[in-house]
Amino acid sequence: MADPMRIRATLTGDTVEVKVLMSHPMETGLRKDADGKLVPAHYIDTVKASYNGKDVMTAEWGPAVSKNPFLAFRFKGGSKGEKVTVTWHDTAGDTRTDEAAIQ
């Protein structure tokens, strides 16, 4: 399983800003290894964030996203101490879910 995501959620006024750093190789399927064989595609294709059980952000990614991607987004309606949950799913069928309390 991949390393935990680093998530920071900060409340400013009525808006929560979420910053996420994900650990993932994000292989495009176009790179060749030392033997000249293509490295199979392996990248995050879906990212979802939820707050109080409701999706607040959904992203569909492709192979052009860089290794160890960073994502930032905002939503309205959060409160300090409550949790934001971020989940990603990749092309190999792996899934990772982590959460952070709003500061």
pLDDT tens figures, 18-35: 999 999 999 999 999 999
Burial 52-90 (b: 16+ CB within 10 A, else e): eeeebbeeebeeebeeebebeeebeebeeeeebbbbbeb
**Is 17 in contact with 39 (CB distance < 8 Å)?**
no
Statement: residue 1 has pLDDT above 60:
no
What is the amino acid identity at position 13?
G
Mean pLDDT, residues 56-82: 96
**Model confidence pTM above 0.75:** yes
% of the chain at pLDDT higher than 70: 98
What pLDDT, on a 0 to 100 scale, did the predictor assign at position 19? 98
- Which residues 6+ apart lie within 8 Å of 56 measured at CB? 49, 50, 73, 75, 84
Mean pLDDT, residues 46-60: 96
Number of H helices, E strands in the chain: 0, 7
What pLDDT, on a 0 to 100 scale, did the predictor assign at position 86? 98
Domains located in the chain, CATH noted = 6-101 (2.60.40.10)
